[in-house]
């Protein structure tokens, strides 16, 4: 029995995802030159025509890679945006979020997504927007929701949660890039764990409601 015209076979999405993961692993490798579409096809073990059949072009492939990891990372984003638990301190709540980001960067694919997004986005404006929408902004917006919940619980003062989220997470992202992607461990190693503790404490002193006399 033939498939109706225009439908995909049952293995199409599995094949597509497998190609995305192989292409993503190649894109994450830091070389002097970004891999071409042909080099990505070679890394995937397929022809250029086959890779084009699944993704049309290089920019679409990278967009789909971001989307894939956004979908698989929903659980982590839900955890990042959850309200602090009953009797949980603001320090404990925020430290948990930052430590999860650090673990995802070093043990998962999060660091590679940011590395790909920055290197590709600085060259292509369309990819830059895809990176913002599918990688960076979901993390920031999840943090904003947690901070808004913390305001409603009386843990921190009224504030612009977008500004506060950027102030909280930016030092960590810069430190992770510095240490793990730019090779900072070779010239000025630092303890990311200690940085998280200091950043959370500084944030708490600035925003915690009882300290501010709110």
Indicate if 66-212 has the same CATH topology as 12-56.
no
pLDDT in tens, the chain (214 residues): 455 554 567 688 999 999 999 999 999 987 778 899 999 999 999 999 999 999 999 999 999 999 999 998 999 999 999 999 988 999 999 999 999 999 999 998 899 999 999 999 999 999 999 999 999 999 999 999 999 999 999 999 999 999 999 999 999 999 999 999 899 999 999 999 999 999 999 999 999 997 444 4
Look at the domain 12-56 and name its fold: Arc Repressor Mutant, subunit A (1.10.10)
| Domain range list for the chain | 12-56, 66-212
pTM confidence score = 0.87
Burial class of residue 208 (count of CB atoms within 10 Å of its CB; 0-12, 13-18, 19+)? middle
The CATH number that domain 66-212 falls under is 1.10.357.10
Cα separation of the two ends of the chain? 71
């Amino acid at each position: 029995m033939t498939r109706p015209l225009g439908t995909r076979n049952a293995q199409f999405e599995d094949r597509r995802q497998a190609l995305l993961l192989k292409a993503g692993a190649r894109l994450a490798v830091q070389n002097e030159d970004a891999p071409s579409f042909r080099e990505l096809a070679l890394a995937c073990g397929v022809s250029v025509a086959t890779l084009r059949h699944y993704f049309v072009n290089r920019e679409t492939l990278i967009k789909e890679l971001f989307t894939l990891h956004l979908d698989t990372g929903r659980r982590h984003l839900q955890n990042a945006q959850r309200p602090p638990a009953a009797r949980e301190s603001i320090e404990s709540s925020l430290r948990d979020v930052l430590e999860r980001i650090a673990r995802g960067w070093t043990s998962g694919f999060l660091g590679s997504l940011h590395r790909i997004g920055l290197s590709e986005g600085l060259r292509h404006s369309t990819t830059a927007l895809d990176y913002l929408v599918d990688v960076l902004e979901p993390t920031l917006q999840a943090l904003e929701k947690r901070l808004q919940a913390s305001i409603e619980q009386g843990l921190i003062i009224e504030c612009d949660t977008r500004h506060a989220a950027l102030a909280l997470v930016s030092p960590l992202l810069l430190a992770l890039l510095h240490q793990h992607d730019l090779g900072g461990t070779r010239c000025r190693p630092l303890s990311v764990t200690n940085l998280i503790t200091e950043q959370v404490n500084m944030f708490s002193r600035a925003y915690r409601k009882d300290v501010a006399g709110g």
